[in-house]
Structure 1
């Protein structure tokens, strides 16, 4: 196994600029680097799994698990075990917030236990919610898949305001290259969104690819759309009209069937829209805690938006009540979101 990823000076400087506060030392120097290292480790592991097969188990939501799901889950848990400030964690494969078992054998069963990572702030504690391998249904044909991670202030994400308490998120991309987009937004600080490249060729390294990921509304030429849950268009005249609008306006289709790679295309091109409405017959599949909230933070930090297609409300607006809350999603640059809101819901600015 390769040693932990060595962060470049550029990355360390970027994290320092995004999180200059003394009260965020652990997030800056421990939590984010450890999770980026986990992304590199997952990529390395996936390249060795030439046979993708059922693990013979199901998660508590009833979803069958693959061997690669379990492997990715374990690697992220291993990374969190190296972060004393991460006191609890939950995932789509194990959706109960549990104390993290750290490498020294300790766990944060007591809220009074201090974090040794930061002498400046013993109250720097986080909970992490993650989808270890999003898109496992398309991994067998060797398509790009990803990991989704949300980092929250405190011991629990439940009952909290995502806009106030989710302070960082990571989208990891496992394709021909291994990359990650990181969003950071802490109270009192400026939002930041950047992309890093990760190598896993014996010595893992982490280098800045783009110091600023931004979505724009100044679009000349090709426009992109990714219509998920397309069968819902048969039941929703509004969704059918929206898809027809994209076709008649000569948008270019960029849809893979995987949430992470489809969002990656938008973030690389700097514009586009991903839309996944729900209907009575086509229920919501995306979970707010593990997918929607981390994605929404990335989109907002990049200058875009992410809304619930049911009512047009920002994804981060509503507190989380439980780990299985689900919803529809439209996300991308602001101009495209306004068009989608108007056509799906009749809402205009």
Structure 2
């Protein structure tokens, strides 16, 4: 029988590869894994209990909170508070940062930014949803942690990952030394290594964008969509349009099969919709580590200055060659259809 590596075992074995190999980051990743199992349990029985539908309030984004949004947020914050390795949690669901002020956590070295349940509006129609997380080292030395500890460039991430709750539940993460994926085995309650050293194909045949907003897209994006739809055997076009409406699910598919995910700015929302700190930066870190590319159409996502907690950005992310071609259309570079 081949050896099965659980997430806990893998983290311990790879601890020496971490920039700061003292065990805290390993325990922090373990805490996130535990919370993911709890959330997975509730997601998978959502139709049987009273946790479907809206919670009756909106979050800081102006979006209606779903009951599972609230539940997932509570579970991840609780796990991070109990673990003692995190001094601040920055969540999509909370307007301000959450300071963890226990005696142990006050001196903790890590910051966690998290989108507890990406795509949660799809829960009641049984579409895959996910969790996105990002981990930074604290910058401030003494006293309570500060908002400036959160507002760091994506290049400063020490780890990032996502959990996708679908036909199977997977946790995919990086610490800057490649990308590895773990599938939850419900028979033993453990995440087991199933996708070692994940690599994104340099190109693909899938483009993911909400074409319902086509009329509002910049001309360069419209031209790229037309390019994707033109028949050309040399480049395997036309490409397939696949858009789930859950960024984690779209990115996970494209990571494995090759493709591009686009959420551009529009005339009414020039900064786009997706959040930089806890959506775009962690996913950009993962995709780059797998050999892909992530930009806002002009600059590398990980190089963007972070000036506010819920900052938004356009994003073009996926297979490197596809992103480069999309950028060429944005810059009105000559591209043959």
- TM-score interval, smaller chain: 0.7 to 0.9
Indicate yes or no: 2:288 matched with 1:300.
Answer: yes
2:154 and 2:333 map into 1 onto residues whose CA distance is: 24
User: Is the 1:73–1:132 contact (alpha carbons within 8 Å) kept by the matching residues of 2?
Assistant: yes
User: Is the 2:90–2:97 contact (alpha carbons within 8 Å) kept by the matching residues of 1?
Assistant: yes
Q: CA deviation at 1:264?
A: 0.6
**CA 1:333–1:11 in 2, change beyond 3 Å: closer, same or farther?**
farther
Q: CA deviation at 1:345?
A: 2.3
1:285 corresponds to which residue?
273
Q: CA deviation at 1:28?
A: 4.4
2:182 aligned residue (164, 186, 196): 196
2:141 corresponds to which residue?
none
1:43 aligned residue (18, 35, 40): 40
1:181 aligned residue (150, 153, 172): 172
Indicate yes or no: 2:262 matched with 1:275.
Answer: yes
User: Is the 2:15–2:26 contact (alpha carbons within 8 Å) kept by the matching residues of 1?
Assistant: no
User: Is the 2:205–2:240 contact (alpha carbons within 8 Å) kept by the matching residues of 1?
Assistant: yes
2:19 and 2:296 map into 1 onto residues whose CA distance is: 35
**CA 1:143–1:9 in 2, change beyond 3 Å: closer, same or farther?**
closer
RMSD, aligned α-carbons = 2.3
**CA 1:157–1:13 in 2, change beyond 3 Å: closer, same or farther?**
same
Q: CA deviation at 1:26?
A: 2.9
Query: What secondary structure is seen at the aligned counterpart in 2 of 1:327?
Result: coil
Q: CA deviation at 1:141?
A: 0.6
User: Is the 1:274–1:331 contact (alpha carbons within 8 Å) kept by the matching residues of 2?
Assistant: yes
Q: CA deviation at 1:12?
A: 2.2
CA displacement 1:52-99 (0-9 Å, x = unmatched): 121122223322211100111111112212322211111000142222
Aligned pairs (5 A) from 1:1-349: 8=5, 12-13=9-10, 16-17=13-14, 19-21=16-18, 23-50=20-47, 51=50, 52-100=52-100, 105-106=102-103, 108-109=105-106, 113=107, 115=108, 125-154=109-138, 155=145, 156-163=148-155, 165-185=156-176, 191-201=177-187, 203-217=188-202, 223-228=205-210, 230-248=212-230, 249-269=237-257, 271-283=258-270, 284-309=272-297, 312-346=298-332
- TM-score normalised by L of structure 1: 0.83
1:234 and 1:319 map into 2 onto residues whose CA distance is: 26
1:188 corresponds to which residue?
none
1:27 and 1:88 map into 2 onto residues whose CA distance is: 14
User: Is the 1:304–1:334 contact (alpha carbons within 8 Å) kept by the matching residues of 2?
Assistant: yes
Query: What secondary structure is seen at the aligned counterpart in 1 of 2:35?
Result: helix
**CA 1:11–1:333 in 2, change beyond 3 Å: closer, same or farther?**
farther
1:335 and 1:322 map into 2 onto residues whose CA distance is: 31
**CA 1:227–1:62 in 2, change beyond 3 Å: closer, same or farther?**
closer
1:234 and 1:277 map into 2 onto residues whose CA distance is: 10
Query: What secondary structure is seen at the aligned counterpart in 1 of 2:29?
Result: helix
2:22 and 2:99 map into 1 onto residues whose CA distance is: 21
**Residues matched between the structures, number:** 313
1:14 and 1:223 map into 2 onto residues whose CA distance is: 34
1:119 corresponds to which residue?
none
2:13 and 2:240 map into 1 onto residues whose CA distance is: 38
**CA 1:330–1:27 in 2, change beyond 3 Å: closer, same or farther?**
farther
Query: What secondary structure is seen at the aligned counterpart in 1 of 2:221?
Result: helix
User: Is the 1:41–1:200 contact (alpha carbons within 8 Å) kept by the matching residues of 2?
Assistant: no
User: Is the 2:81–2:105 contact (alpha carbons within 8 Å) kept by the matching residues of 1?
Assistant: no
1:53 and 1:70 map into 2 onto residues whose CA distance is: 11
CA displacement 1:281-307 (0-9 Å, x = unmatched): 245110101111111111111111110
- TM-score normalised by L of structure 2: 0.85
Query: What secondary structure is seen at the aligned counterpart in 2 of 1:57?
Result: strand
Structure 2 unmatched ranges of 5 or more: 139-144, 231-236
Q: CA deviation at 1:142?
A: 0.7
User: Is the 1:72–1:132 contact (alpha carbons within 8 Å) kept by the matching residues of 2?
Assistant: yes
User: Is the 1:170–1:183 contact (alpha carbons within 8 Å) kept by the matching residues of 2?
Assistant: yes
User: Is the 2:217–2:265 contact (alpha carbons within 8 Å) kept by the matching residues of 1?
Assistant: no
